[in-house]
A and B are shown apart, each in its own frame.
Chain A
Amino acid sequence: MRGRNVVGLILAGFLLVALAIVWRRTIGIAQSDALTALDARKVQLQGERVRLESEIRAASSRQRLGEVAENRLGMRIPSDNQVVFLPRSAQDGRP
């Protein structure tokens, strides 16, 4: 093989290695970007979940429902003799 060909091969190899490195870094940065975006999205959704759960708790609290149940639906707290405790069944835990 002539010297010029060897130099050409070396240069081509160098170019390929350089391209591979640049490609790897580009892919790495793109993936890192995507990971950061997903992480932000996860945080966003977790925050949303906390907010929604808090709203559900507020909406289903006795403070909120009690007034509606008593004033709008005419419900009331049962007296203690209207509450019957059923003994738990030994077989399946249900009376």
Chain B
Amino acid sequence: MAAPNRVAIVHGVLVLFAVALVVRAAKVQIIDGKQWSERAKRQQFFTSSAPAPRGDILDAGGKPLVESRELVKIAVALPEVRDTAFAIRALRSSRLDATPVRAAIARKRRWVELPGLHDPARISSLVKLNGIHFTPVLQRVYAPSGGVRRIVGGLDGKGIPLDGIELGLDTVLRGDSAPVTLARNRDGRALETPDGWSNPPRPGSTVTLTINSGLQDICERELSVAVDSLGATGGDIVVMNPHTGEILAMATNRAGRSAWANTAITEPFEPGSTLKPFVAAALLTRGRARPDEIIPTFNGKLELDGRTIVDMHKAPRLSLADVIRFSSNVGIVQFGQRLTPREKFDTFRDLGFGMASGVPLPAESPGTLREPASWSRQTPASILLGYEIAVTPLQLVAAYAAIANGGELLEPHLVKEIRSPEGEVLYRAQPRTVRRVMSREIALAMREMLLAVVREGTATKADLETFAVAGKSGTARRTSLNAGYTAGNYTASFVGLFPAEDPQYVVLVKLDSPSGSRYAGGDIAAPVTRIVLRAALAARDAALDREGLLAAGESAAAPASRQRSADTSIKSAERVSEPVPPSSYVVHLPPKPKPAPAVRPPRMIPDVAGLTLRGAVRALHARGFQVRVVTAATMSTSPAAGAIAAAGSVVHLGYPRE
């Protein structure tokens, strides 16, 4: 047998080596395959939790009030950094504070997180540096309005809701985060993989509020101006649509601890005279009084249960309608004695006082309405004057909305609609009647009384020239801590219905502790209401039905002034009372100061034939006339074109409606 030559030996060794390789490969691939595959996966892939974007919050017109945007949190893994000095310079050039990194190097720490959240655009130059890690964090961007912020609330640094709609509707707004498998590239950075998502994260739903941004802006600005100019400690304005219960605006203004609280729902107050209309409505409902029924008011001074009740407007006798008109304390107490304590309690409870209204905002106060069993000797009279009862501004507005809409207490709501990320409507608010609190006839009678308050009562400063406003002012003494009621410390308020004929707004203006000599609701809160209404009328979108206003404006501004128009509009409905007979009492009111009329030369009315309606209005305005659009067969003016009229006088512009 021949000895194997060297080539054969080499071949043999190579074959053995190849066999060993194949055997080893078979072991790795087949026997230990699973284990190695798992190990490789662990090295190349990792699982992370992808946050779900939180739902947006929009205003009634779809304008964003709160949106989410992605920022990043930066961390530095020091062992991975190749050149520490270069990394620190890079951090500095991105305007980041590198002090924590230096401190971590000194303490030989391996991982350091930089404080704060950062805009990805600003730190884009750091993306390719080794050892610098980014974690996406969703940040909420809020509308600049402070009032909106008080409504929608906020999140803490970890994304946990703190208050407002963010907390009240957290389950709807927060989405469902999802695990995602990411690959690592050679630098250890994450790469998305096609099969990384088992289920993608589901964004939160979009919540549309009933708030109208334009009106909210108006209320906040006017409230801020009023609080500053009157030296008040704060105030609230709430505007509601009385036919739907939608809260259109909710502005609050406070300094100090309450600055970020939505005090329109969290801070009840003693409403004072703004409660009197509800006492009158209760009397009418139970048939215990008529609007024209006259009682003695003792020239505005009454001794009752050891205390003296006084009126600002002294009169020997007043009808129930005039008790409301002049806000007579003596009169309402005299009338109110016809109601038992239980009836008084039931009246106020039925109006929603003493219980939360149900808006999805945390920390809503139910207010205070005590059971008659715990009343003191003076409570039956005090509660008629709006004391020993505390209501939130929202509760009071909702109660007045019942007068405005014909007697139904509606549940106030703040959320108009909720839509899923796919656009499906999950919830849409519908007007919800809690209960009927007065008949339609009594609501109309109350509106007439409230109209008289603004026209010639305690709140004439709320009156507009073109539209009729109804309302009631209130001035209540405020308590100070451990000092009871203190002199010169008042809550001034006014609740208005606009326009009086068919209210589209119920507006509450409340001012806390105004300093100075003017503190009555009719003096300071009523004018703020008028300014808000004027600004709303001039605004592009303030949730007003302009067609409805056009009709209301025409009826309110008909010849012979608004006195007659309002009478006809409200008296046209069925009423429970007889007309008020000529009264035998005299009430002395301070005469209104009349400004001296400006001297303006008369001028000729232009010919508007052939012009568009807009052009005709412009031509008349340009000549200095006020314009009232009325229906006519042809485009014409009254007085006719060519006639001479005083500048500033009203010209009726006839317009053929199609």
Contact = CB atoms under 8 A, between A and B. Distances in A.
A80 B537 contact: yes
A44 B626 contact: no
Contact of A78 (B64, B145, B224, B534): B534
Given A39-B192, A54-B143, A95 B550 contact: no
Given A40-B120, A44-B120, A61-B217, 17 more contacts: A32-B193, A43-B120, A50-B67, A50-B68, A54-B142, A58-B144, A61-B144, A62-B218, A62-B221, A77-B531, A77-B534, A77-B538, A83-B537, A84-B627, A85-B550, A86-B617, A90-B657
Nearest to A39: B192
Q: Is the interface of B mostly helix, strand, loop or mixed?
A: mixed
Given A50-B67, A86-B629, A87-B657, A81 B191 contact: no
Interface string A34-78: 011001100110111011011001100111001000000000011
A5 interface: no
B64 A79 contact: no
Q: Which of A32, A51, A84, A86 has the most CB of B within 10 A?
A: A84
Contacts of A35: 192
Interface in B629-658: 629, 655, 657-658
B512 interface: no
Given A29-B191, A86-B613, A81 B466 contact: yes
B553 A33 contact: no
B583 interface: no
A26 to B, nearest CB: 11
A85 B629 contact: yes
Contacts of A54: 67, 141-144
A44 B124 contact: yes
Contacts of A90: 657-658
Query: Could you say which interface size class chain A belongs to?
Result: 35 or more
30 contacts: A33-B191, A35-B192, A43-B136, A44-B124, A46-B69, A47-B69, A48-B121, A54-B142, A57-B63, A57-B143, A58-B144, A62-B214, A62-B218, A63-B145, A63-B220, A77-B531, A80-B466, A80-B534, A81-B465, A82-B626, A83-B537, A85-B549, A85-B550, A86-B614, A87-B550, A87-B655, A87-B657, A89-B658, A90-B658, A95-B613
Contacts of B612: 95
Nearest to A47: B69
A32 B465 contact: no
Nearest to A63: B221
A6 B63 CA distance: 73
A53 B121 CA distance: 16
Contacts of A61: 144-145, 217
A57 B465 CA distance: 33
Contact of A43 (B70, B538, B549, B628): B70
A12 B136 CA distance: 47
Contacts of A88: 547
Nearest to A42: B70
Nearest to B218: A62
Contacts of B553: 85
A48 B550 CA distance: 43
A48 B142 CA distance: 14
B71 interface: yes
Interface in B181-215: 183, 185, 190-193, 214
A66 B221 contact: yes
Contacts of B224: 63
Contacts of B191: 29, 32-33, 36
Interface in A1-41: 29, 32-33, 35-36, 39-40
A46 B120 CA distance: 11
B134 to A, nearest CB: 9
A48 B141 CA distance: 11
A62 B141 contact: no
B541 interface: no
A38 B614 CA distance: 51
Nearest to B618: A84
Q: Which of B63, B192, B193, B534 has the most CB of A within 10 A?
A: B534
Contact of A51 (B141, B535, B549, B629): B141
A40 B69 CA distance: 12
Contact of B144 (A43, A63, A91): A63
Given A62-B221, A81-B626, A46 B70 contact: yes
Contacts of A94: 614
A84 to B, nearest CB: 5
B54 to A, nearest CB: 12
Interface string B600-626: 000000000000111001000000001
B119 A29 contact: no
B120 A47 contact: yes
Given A33-B185, A86-B614, A51 B69 contact: yes
A90 B613 CA distance: 13
Q: Which of A81, A82, A89 has the most CB of B within 10 A?
A: A81
A62 to B, nearest CB: 4
A76 to B, nearest CB: 10
A46 B657 CA distance: 48
B361 interface: no
A49 B415 CA distance: 26
A46 B534 CA distance: 38
Contacts of B124: 44
A44 B120 CA distance: 6
Contacts of B531: 77
Contacts of B220: 62-63
Contacts of A39: 192
B432 interface: no
Contacts of A62: 214, 217-218, 220-221
B546 interface: yes
A40 to B, nearest CB: 7
Contacts of B190: 36
Contacts of B70: 43, 46-47
A83 to B, nearest CB: 5
Contacts of A77: 531, 534-535, 538
Contacts of A46: 69-70
B143 A32 contact: no
